[in-house]
Amino acid sequence: MKRLAIIILTAACSIALLGCDDTSKADVGMVGGAVAGGVLGSTVGSGSTAATIGGTLVGGYVGRQVGESMD
């Protein structure tokens, strides 16, 4: 239940960030990548906190790089 609450909260924060007018593609990519990476890390790591954090960091970094290439 805690994992679901974290996923919902993260998604809500991501949607709120996307509503900003001056948001760059790099910022959107970073948030989207962090959410996807966190969910993937949690799934692959069987709910491990370290795997979730690692997935979030890697996903955020990769997402930002992709977003910057699109700006």
What confidence category does residue 57 fall into, taking pLDDT thresholds of 50, 70 and 90?
very high
Q: Which two tokens stand for residue 29?
A: 């990519």
pLDDT(21) > 70: no
What does the mean pLDDT of the chain come to? 84
- Section 19-29 average pLDDT: 79
Residue found by looking up tokens 């989207």 in the block: 32
pLDDT(5) > 90: no
**How many C-beta atoms surround the C-beta of residue 33 within 10 A?**
23
What pTM, to 2 d.p., does this model score?
0.71
Dist CA 35 CA 64 (whole Å): 12
What is the structure's pLDDT at 6?
Answer: 76
Describe the crossing of helices 25-44 and 2-18 by its angle, rounded to 10 degrees: 170
